[in-house]
Amino acid sequence: METTYIKAINDALRIAMREDENVFLLGEDIGALGGAFKATEGLLDEFGSARVLDTPISESLIVGAAVGAAAVGLRPVAEMQFADFVSCGFDQVVNMAATLRYRHGGNAKCPMVVRCPSGSGVRGGLFHSQNPEAWFTRVPGLKVVAPATAFDAKGLLLSAIQDDDPVIYFEHKFLYRRVKEDVPEASYVVPIGKAALRMEGSDISFITYGSALYHCLDAAAELAKEGVTSEVLDLRTLLPLDRGAILATARKTGKVLIVHEDRLTGGIGGEVAAIIAEHAFEYLDAPVMRLGMRDTHNAFAGAMEEYILPSREKVLAAGRKLAGY
């Protein structure tokens, strides 16, 4: 059944709530309004206000309540209306949720999900466009996922809800209604920690995730016309990284371009590059290259936003440079 990215999220939430009465949702305007983007539309009618909780505008409260609920055996799915505002609940995520199992010597668990609508390309400006995934990818005890397809949006969310550790789930706003594909109506899971090879090739490798996947696929298709075959690896999970898949593609082609929408400095691309440099250096035929958002604030004006973000054209130019090295 052809399904949009956001409908896949809605379907996953509905399935999880039907399958397990311990699953409940909390967040701002997720009930009667159905969420700012309609990701929770219809769920209040089916499951009632005891399981679809509208909260005050307080991210620290939302995440803190989720931690407490998870600690006593429930499976909360907390929504940040925009990923940018997870910073207001940062302490609860990294100091409470992430450490709970360790603090209790493995005798407690924290099965919760924090849904974070993230990403640029929607003219959201400073406070509604950020990609804050790298804030969390260095925190032991967390898992971090970033689906790029509707199939993965559903399968990774169901995996996250079933997981006994806290999962930060980054869903890209630009993809909500632009990405459609056939998605099974039944329940299924996409394993956390496993990358997906979206295209096979032998000349260069694109390693990417989220919205940048589509820039890489477009660039790879154009490069194929020029006689350059590309591998495109979609990380899907950012913590833990699929090191095996990263090293396999690097060793196969010897030329790697890492692309993400997050800012270049401090982005997960630096960690991927370090893994390759440390464990696959002898296979490389060119320096590992990175392409990300410019190290600046998110712009509101369309021309400025396009200037600072990765694009098909920028990926293609970088791919050509790498192929010709």
Give the pLDDT band (50/70/90) at residue 88: very high
Give the pLDDT band (50/70/90) at residue 16: very high
pLDDT the model gives residue 257 = 98
What integer best gives the mean pLDDT of the chain? 97
Question: What are the helix (H) ranges across 106-256?
Answer: 150-162, 212-225, 243-253
At residue 303, the 3 state secondary structure works out as helix
State mean pLDDT over 195-217: 98
Give the pLDDT band (50/70/90) at residue 163: very high
H/E element holding 52? Answer: strand 52-54
- Residue 179 zone, left/alpha/beta (φ > 0; ψ -120 to 50; rest): beta
- Alpha-carbon dihedral 199, 201, 206, 207, rounded to 10 degrees: 70
- Domains recognised in the chain with CATH numbers: 2-182 (3.40.50.970), 196-323 (3.40.50.920)
When computed from its CA atoms, the radius of gyration of the chain, rounded to whole angstroms, is: 19
pLDDT the model gives residue 95 = 97
Residue 279 is among the residues annotated as catalytic for this protein: no
Q: Which of 104, 128, 260, 297 is catalytic?
A: 128
At residue 229, the 3 state secondary structure works out as coil
At residue 284, the 3 state secondary structure works out as coil
* pLDDT tops 90 at residue 1: no
